[in-house]
Amino acid sequence: MTGIVEEITIGPARLILGDMREVLPALKMRADMVMSDPPYMLSSGGNNGELGGCFGRNRYDNGGALFDVVPWHEMAPIMLAACADNAELIIMATDREEARARAAFEVEGARFHRLLVWGKGTATPNRWFMPNCEFGLYLYKGKARRLNDCGARQMVQVRQMDVSHHYLPADLPKLERAPHPTEKPVKLLQDWISNVTDPGALVLDRERPQVVRRHGWAGTRCARGQPGGVSAGRCRLPRKRRCERKNRGVRGMTARAYAPANAVARHLVTVEDFKTYAAPALEAAPLWVPGRCFNPACGCAFTPARSWQVYCSTSCERAGTAEFRRWGHRMALPLLAWRVNKYQPGDTAAGELARVARRHVTEAQSAWLRERAAAIEAAGCGS
C-alpha cells in the first residue's frame, strides 16, 4: 500500500510506519475516534545550555523542531477524512500551538468541545513561568456524543514518568536505550480514550516518530525521517480500560503489556480520598450532622474546632476508623470481583460472579446501616 514502510499487528491493532499524508487516504478507514499527539513546533531561541535529555544540545538545536513537523493545515483535513460521520478527536498541543491547531481543524469542519488539561507534575525549565501542563483539543465531527463518565473533570493530573526504554531489547547499546522524548502516561490516555469511545470502537492514533538504528519493529519505535507513524485498533475492552493497543505499546513501539490485564500500571494509579473527590456533593448532601459526633455509639453534641471535624474526640475518631476498616475489609474482595467482571456477558461464569459480588456488597451495606442504627438507638442519641 502507498506510503507504508513497515507494519505490525498487535491483537486488534495495526501499527504502521509511514507518511500519514499517504497512508491515511490509502487506508480508507472510518475511525470512531482520533487520539493524536502529533509533532508540532516548540519554543525556539534562548539558551538551552542547561537542559538535558531530549532538549540537550546534542539532540536539539533549539530551532523549534524536535521532530519532522507537518503543518496543522495539512494534518487536519487528512485526519478528519479518516473519521466516521460522527467521531471524536483529542489532539494534543502546547499552549503556543493550541490556537493554530484549533483554527486548522475548525476550518475543515470540526467543532470544539473543550480544552482538556494534563497536569504533568513536572516542569520544563523556563524564565517565563515553567510549563508543567499540556493540552488536548477535544473536538467532534458530525453529531456530538455524551461522555461515558459525565463527572469527568477537564484537568487530569498524572505525573509524567518515562518507561518506554524499559521495553527495548536487552542487547541494545546503552546510548540507544533512551526513553521516547514525548511519551505520555498510560493513565492519561486511558481516561480520555475510554471516556469518549465504546467497546468495539475503531481508534486512530497518529504518532510522533523516534530514532532507532536497528532491530526493525520488534521492540522498537518509528524511524527518523518519517513524518509520523499511524496505528489503528478496535477498542474491545470495557469502557473504563484503555484500548489494548495502548497497553501494549508506548508512543508507537511494540512490547508486552506493562500492566495486568484488568488494571492500569500500579505506579500510575492515583485515587483521591472520597471526602476530596466528592467534596461538593458531600457539602450539598452531608452524611453527618454538623456538631454531632459521627460515631454511632456516641452521637453527642460538640463544638467542631474545624469545619471538617466529624468526631467529638480522638477515641471516637479511632472507633470510627476501626468501623470503616472492619466493613471495608469485608467488602473489598467483592468490590474487586464486581469491578473486574462487571462488563462480562451475563450468561458466563464471570458475569455471574459480578452479580454475586454486587449482591454481597449490597447486603453488607444494609447490614452496616442496621448496625449503625442499633448503636444509635442503644446510645439514646440521634446521629
DSSP letter for each residue of 344-362: S-TTSHHHHHHHHHHHHHH
Residue of 101, 195, 109, 182 lying closest to 148 (CA atoms): 195
Q: What is the mean pLDDT of residues 80-88?
A: 94
Same-domain pairing of 257 and 289: no
Query: Do the beta carbons of residue 205 and residue 231 sit within 8 Å?
Result: yes
Same-domain pairing of 262 and 294: no
Q: What is the mean pLDDT of residues 39-55?
A: 53
Q: What is the mean pLDDT of residues 55-69?
A: 54
Same-domain pairing of 303 and 372: yes
| Contacts with 97 (C-beta within 8 Å, 6 or more apart), sequence order | 40, 41, 72
Q: What is the mean pLDDT of residues 280-309?
A: 86
Query: Do the beta carbons of residue 134 and residue 158 sit within 8 Å?
Result: no
- pLDDT grade, residue 21 (50/70/90)? confident
Number of domains in the chain: 2
Q: Which run of H or E residues covers position 157? A: strand 155-157
3-state secondary structure (DSSP) of residue 280: helix
Q: Partners of 9 in the beta sheet? A: 14
Pairing of strands 155-157, 133-141: unpaired
Report how far residue 35's alpha carbon sits from residue 300's, in angstroms, rounded to the nearest whole number: 55
At residue 323, the pLDDT reads 93
Same-domain pairing of 201 and 346: no
Radius of gyration of the chain, Cα coordinates, nearest whole angstrom = 25
Query: Do the beta carbons of residue 291 and residue 304 sit within 8 Å?
Result: yes
User: Which residue type occupies 272?
Assistant: E
Cα atoms found within 13 Å of the Cα of residue 99, Cβ hemisphere only: 2
Same-domain pairing of 257 and 306: no
Last residue of a domain, one of 204, 237, 268: 268
Report how far residue 1's alpha carbon sits from residue 3's, in angstroms, rounded to the nearest whole number: 6
Residue 278 domain flag: no
At residue 220, the pLDDT reads 25
At residue 356, the pLDDT reads 93
- Largest separation between any pair of C-alpha atoms in the chain: 80
What does the pLDDT look like over 321-336, one tens digit per residue? 999 999 999 999 999 9
What does the pLDDT look like over 142-163, one tens digit per residue? 999 999 988 889 998 888 777 7
User: Which residue type occupies 41?
Assistant: M
Residue 274 domain flag: no
Checking if the pLDDT of 68 tops 50, the result is yes
Cα 288–chain centre separation = 34
At residue 233, the pLDDT reads 56
Same-domain pairing of 288 and 264: no
Mean pLDDT in the chain?
76
Residue 275 domain flag: no
Same-domain pairing of 256 and 288: no
Residue of 27, 125, 108, 112 lying closest to 71 (CA atoms): 108
For the ranges 200-214, 273-287, 310-324, which has the lowest average pLDDT? 200-214
At residue 288, the pLDDT reads 87
Query: Do the beta carbons of residue 105 and residue 139 sit within 8 Å?
Result: yes
Report how far residue 141's alpha carbon sits from residue 45's, in angstroms, rounded to the nearest whole number: 37
Query: Do the beta carbons of residue 209 and residue 227 sit within 8 Å?
Result: yes
At residue 185, the pLDDT reads 84
Same-domain pairing of 189 and 124: yes
Same-domain pairing of 260 and 290: no
Report how far residue 194's alpha carbon sits from residue 237's, in angstroms, rounded to the nearest whole number: 9
Q: Partners of 4 in the beta sheet? A: 18
At residue 112, the pLDDT reads 95
At residue 110, the pLDDT reads 95
At residue 6, the pLDDT reads 85
What does the pLDDT look like over 235-276, one tens digit per residue? 443 333 333 333 333 333 333 333 334 444 444 445 667 877
At residue 279, the pLDDT reads 78
Task: Pick the more confident residue, 253 or 309.
Answer: 309
Eight-class DSSP state of 48? -
Host domain of residue 298: 284-379
At residue 257, the pLDDT reads 34
Last residue of a domain, one of 268, 302, 327: 268
